[in-house]
Amino acid sequence: MMVTQESFLFSGTVAENIAVGKPDATRAEIEAAARAIGAHEFISALPDGYDTDVRKRGGRISAGQRQLVAFARALLADPAVLILDEATSSLDVPGEQAVQHAMRTVLAGRTAVIIAHRLSTVEIADRVLVMDQGRIVEDGTPATLIAGEGRFATLHQTWKDSLV
């Protein structure tokens, strides 16, 4: 299963969009996945809750909310391997924080390949491969790479400096 930078939602209800990876899911399973991800509150606040039509491409809800629905979909589908391709890059800071929680939940106990430029997304990884011009130039845990003197350490320091 894959969660991309801009999660695609289909015309239909929030519940139907969460159940895409497991079409036979019960409403209880759908809601449990949304609760675990942290999406239940915003979904419940929608006009028809889980039965709200998200409209074409999910246009009725924000980008961050679409990402949360995509993570609930991934959690419900329970894939052995999950690919996250720039899953937080289009979000503002509050949206990214909500999705970070969702990522920790959905990644627990599974193998994931995370493609990201945002260092806050990479920090949760067990292992980081830093690429430059198609070649792996560094390999290690986030903590080891941050403590080093390579590209990742430089990028991390620049990122931290930009937050102040």
pLDDT number for residue 129: 92
pLDDT, position 10: 87
Domain ranges of the chain: 2-115, 126-164
Q: How far apart are CA 161 and CA 4, in angstroms?
A: 28
Please state, in angstroms and rounded to a whole number, the distance separating the CA atoms of residues 52 and 69. Answer: 13
Find out whether 76 and 18 touch, Cβ atoms under 8 Å: yes
Question: DSSP character for 21?
Answer: G
Q: Classify domain 2-115 at the CATH class level.
A: alpha beta
Q: Are 114 and 122 contacting, i.e. CB atoms less than 8 angstroms apart?
A: yes
Give pLDDT tens digits along the chain (164 positions).
888 777 788 889 999 999 998 999 999 999 999 998 889 999 999 999 999 999 776 667 888 888 889 989 999 999 999 898 877 666 666 666 767 777 777 888 888 888 887 777 788 888 999 999 999 999 999 999 999 999 999 988 887 888 76
Helix (H), strand (E) at residue 42: helix 40-45
Query: What integer pLDDT is reported at residue 28 of this predicted model?
Result: 98
Whether the CB-CB separation of 120 and 114 falls below 8 Å is answered with no
Burial of 4 (0-12, 13-18, 19+ CB in 10 A): middle
